[in-house]
Structure 1
């Protein structure tokens, strides 16, 4: 690298540089246009590079790489992508994706354009976050206090959500972007700004609304049409909440599609003040933060195909999975006081993905607890320190590894126990919160709080063997993809979610920040997982042996190909039956010895 290049790298937009490094790392990991499988290794003065030649041989791209180990053996490094023909450094996402799109199959090039737009939106959001950092930090400390370890209750948990929303996803490079939303909309409704706003409501004919739990199942705060200024609809209509961002064209199109355009009435009067959770489309009532309302949003995150609307089938699946988890906990008494499941059995919909609501009820008794989503642990708290360090100072004698140790011990015990029943959950960092119950003069009691369990994988054979007549019939669920008759889909989900996102991500994340040596953290992750696996049956074909052989000791592990399935390729081109469960492979950082060469 020349001195001029170094200077340019020092003074360029750090948001753009950081995003591009993450994007190139993801493209390399997912082997986009053969970047991993077709490129030739080249050794240069500053280290290893990859050289990828176009199919016709008329152009080549050069990518400098560095050792990684998490999800991929290597990742991108500065000076990023170089065009060999003229030595030009491609230093923006638009330039890189244009160059790589030119190497793609013509049928896929529109996906590169779509991903370039996703990157543009994400970059704008990152810059907005940078400009507003001090403003938001001041807002949080004014409201909750200067020590995040003392932000208690579910209301304080919303402040931790705000920190998490400003932190990058462990794998997906453009997770901070939300398609179609501008700065003003983000500031008004996104969790990273901790706003408050009032919900809109639409009165829907009673017979058009599906409410599965009887005539009056909705929460006590639910308004009647009369409360909303529509007294003439009191006996014929039921109120359905609508996110302000869905009011307008999306709502009109939904009403037209369901034949409700002439009979449903949008109330002019807003009702109930709410705040966004980390999910953004899910909001918590300001005056009753134990009640969350999950509402459709016409945007997308983690890929342009990951729309934030609500299909009625996911409501059915979430309720059915909750009942299944409660059945397991009833048989595993050690989890009755340590694993909390949010109640997601109350919902309503009018037959369209923009006309639905999930009424999540969080457990009572958490007013004095610290409730922190796993996604927030490595985020920067006001003042610049990691949140996990604040929590460690406040509750674990300043030792973040002790906190991580206790969290992994419980999490792995719970998730491996579920695997023994043939169940794996999509319980990633956003869907699992740590609940710390402070104890005077000692370490807190640590519990888990789980939500959004609508996308599991279930091995029907293991489930029937484990639960017998208590095993639910697959007809209780809506999505047929949930069920399988072997361990592979369950194991893949367990590995990519529980092991990678809830285990490995923290080991590599803390190590990259210089907090603890990587080997120390990887040993912790492996040992706690091995202990949990060891409690399962270890005979041939039994759950413990499956996890030992295919997770702990496997030469490679499945890795989510999220960019490929979520934006770059259509389902027909990628072959992804489920864009959130489409995989490639990566190195197994849990193996104690290096794989044979």
Structure 2
């Protein structure tokens, strides 16, 4: 075992200065946070195509990895769909490691030092998130942002699940949704002639011949180096940079910080396509018999910079029938919620999600349907009724599939457009099955049981056959962090839970 990395001590020091009463809880949460991140890292080491792992051997006492330098790394049998922190220690030759950052440092692989720093920050920030999050009652929340605040641990499978580089402890407490803050967004005036605007930019965000662009306070201070004289209050959602105005739309802001794998700015490409994509998605959702609502993009603007842009999006609350007692819940929050009979409920939810996802894929659209983008409308008794999808920026659209169904092809360009079947299936299966459904199920056994029931009555399309018979694709999240010179997504394959 090893002494705690610097990140934990740094957070403890800052916490002592800004919230001393939270220090004991933070210290108590550190062992669990180390195990949570180590479990995510072990999943990656066990399944991703890492160039310095030459072989993997499973035995009765666990999994052994042989490295290119002859060393051996040993740990428990991996469950690629587990969300519980079951890995508390692994051994590199004869040395035991209970901390992912120390392990990554001593592996000594290319780019491992930078990734080790991220893992250290992920552990420290996760412990801080768990320490500062309020206890949740069993009562279902009334407001959309309250559901989002329940997602304390971040991405269920990414080792950098809580890495927030560039954020001080005070800023994490002030802006992290799990801490329940109210955030004051700045409104930065920009001449209309300097902006690209799509959709309808509201009058209340205009000032004569200037647009008032919502700016996250972290972005204003650290990136734009600007102060804003006016602002609006909003509640942060689980993506951190998207916030909900009470009674109003959601505001997606540019946040030029790396959270998990990506820098969260907003490209001009996304702004330019937002209105076209939104209108197209509404049309396509109309073919799904009321099973899917797509949150509309109301307006988007950029001041010719990915660092200064914003998107206004309809709240998913708009699809809830008033007075019905329905709740719209982000899928990532389902694991925090008391649900009816779990196996039966999970199978019903999986059937609904696969029905929508596969029908859309057959029509020509692959959703990025992970637990943050995908929401489910629940009846007062908890029955899954229909789905809501938000954030169209990273879907994939197949002109060939659309044409096959006689659907007019929208005027789209760039990375969103592809007819590659592998790319389309990876997008949907990796986000929906290996992401949203696996994260809700929490284990390979639970996921297998739900899928076995869910797929029985689905139309046996080529896409469903691929889902049933081929390994399950998922993003190689750790390989991507260890490959800074390789742009775009990289992929790996997980054991098919149905085989």
RMSD (CA atoms):
2.8
How far apart are the structure 1 equivalents of 2:149 and 2:251?
17
Which of 313, 318, 323 in structure 1 is aligned with 2:279? 323
Matched-pair contact (CA < 8 Å) for 2:345–2:383: no
Secondary structure class of the residue paired with 1:148? coil
Partner of residue 331, structure 2:
374
Partner of residue 489, structure 1:
423
Partner of residue 484, structure 2:
570
Q: What does the per-residue CA deviation read over 1:496-550, in whole Å, with 9 as the maximum and x for residues that have no partner?
A: 112221223333x1x58xxxxx36x52331332342333xxxxxxxxx03421x2
* TM-score when normalising by structure 2: 0.86
Partner of residue 50, structure 1:
64
Q: What does the per-residue CA deviation read over 1:171-193, in whole Å, with 9 as the maximum and x for residues that have no partner?
A: 21221222211211011111111
Partner of residue 125, structure 1:
125
Structure 2 runs not aligned, ≥5 long:
2-27
In structure 2, relative to structure 1, the CA distance for the partners of 1:115 and 1:248 (3 Å cut) is same
Partner of residue 28, structure 1:
46
Partner of residue 400, structure 2:
461
In structure 2, relative to structure 1, the CA distance for the partners of 1:502 and 1:42 (3 Å cut) is closer
Which of 413, 437, 445 in structure 1 is aligned with 2:355? 413
Which of 214, 221, 227 in structure 2 is aligned with 1:241? 214
In structure 2, relative to structure 1, the CA distance for the partners of 1:52 and 1:326 (3 Å cut) is same
Secondary structure class of the residue paired with 2:457? helix
Q: What is the CA distance between 1:78 and its match in structure 2?
A: 4.7
Matches within 5 A, 1:157-176: 157-164=144-151, 166-176=152-162
Q: What does the per-residue CA deviation read over 1:214-249, in whole Å, with 9 as the maximum and x for residues that have no partner?
A: xxx32354253xxxxxxxxxx442221211111134
Structure 1 runs not aligned, ≥5 long:
2-9, 225-234, 253-265, 380-386, 393-397, 513-517, 535-543, 592-597
In structure 2, relative to structure 1, the CA distance for the partners of 1:17 and 1:420 (3 Å cut) is closer
Matches within 5 A, 1:342-381: 342-362=295-315, 364=318, 366=320, 368-379=325-336
Secondary structure class of the residue paired with 2:263? coil
How far apart are the structure 1 equivalents of 2:449 and 2:38?
31
In structure 2, relative to structure 1, the CA distance for the partners of 1:204 and 1:443 (3 Å cut) is closer
Matched-pair contact (CA < 8 Å) for 2:30–2:124: no
Q: What does the per-residue CA deviation read over 1:259-305, in whole Å, with 9 as the maximum and x for residues that have no partner?
A: xxxxxxx664332211101111011113x2x41111011211122xx
In structure 2, relative to structure 1, the CA distance for the partners of 1:246 and 1:403 (3 Å cut) is same
Q: What is the CA distance between 1:158 and its match in structure 2?
A: 0.8
Q: What is the CA distance between 1:331 and its match in structure 2?
A: 3.6
Matched-pair contact (CA < 8 Å) for 2:257–2:263: yes
Give the count of matched residue pairs.
Answer: 468
How far apart are the structure 1 equivalents of 2:269 and 2:255?
17
How far apart are the structure 2 equivalents of 1:148 and 1:571?
47
Matches within 5 A, 1:277-292: 277-286=237-246, 288=247, 290-292=248-250
How far apart are the structure 2 equivalents of 1:372 and 1:40?
39
Q: What is the CA distance between 1:11 and its match in structure 2?
A: 12
Which of 359, 368, 375 in structure 2 is aligned with 1:426? 368
How far apart are the structure 1 equivalents of 2:438 and 2:459?
16
Matches within 5 A, 1:178-577: 178-213=164-199, 217-222=200-205, 224=207, 235-252=208-225, 268-286=228-246, 288=247, 290-303=248-261, 306-332=262-288, 334-335=289-290, 338-362=291-315, 364=318, 366=320, 368-379=325-336, 387=337, 389=338, 392=339, 398-438=340-380, 446-468=385-407, 470-472=408-410, 476-478=411-413, 480-507=414-441, 509=442, 511=443, 518=445, 521-534=447-460, 544-548=461-465, 550-554=466-470, 556-565=471-480, 567-572=481-486, 576=487
* TM-score when normalising by structure 1: 0.72
Secondary structure class of the residue paired with 2:214? strand
Secondary structure class of the residue paired with 2:238? coil
Matched-pair contact (CA < 8 Å) for 1:205–1:237: yes
Instruction: Give every structure 1 segment of 4 or more consecutive aligned residues whose post-TM-superposition deviation is greater than 6 Å.
Output: none
Matched-pair contact (CA < 8 Å) for 1:42–1:48: yes
In structure 2, relative to structure 1, the CA distance for the partners of 1:192 and 1:11 (3 Å cut) is closer
Matched-pair contact (CA < 8 Å) for 2:268–2:304: yes
How far apart are the structure 2 equivalents of 1:415 and 1:477?
21
Q: What is the CA distance between 1:416 and its match in structure 2?
A: 1.0
Secondary structure class of the residue paired with 2:161? coil
Matched-pair contact (CA < 8 Å) for 2:100–2:119: yes
How far apart are the structure 2 equivalents of 1:42 and 1:450?
39
Q: What is the CA distance between 1:49 and its match in structure 2?
A: 4.2
Secondary structure class of the residue paired with 1:203? strand
Secondary structure class of the residue paired with 1:533? coil
Q: What does the per-residue CA deviation read over 1:459-494, in whole Å, with 9 as the maximum and x for residues that have no partner?
A: 2211111134x222xxx334x222223422111212
**Bigger radius of gyration, 1 or 2?**
1
In structure 2, relative to structure 1, the CA distance for the partners of 1:184 and 1:221 (3 Å cut) is same
In structure 2, relative to structure 1, the CA distance for the partners of 1:330 and 1:128 (3 Å cut) is closer
How far apart are the structure 2 equivalents of 1:11 and 1:361?
36
Q: What is the CA distance between 1:311 and its match in structure 2?
A: 0.8
Q: What is the CA distance between 1:373 and its match in structure 2?
A: 0.4
Partner of residue 18, structure 2:
none
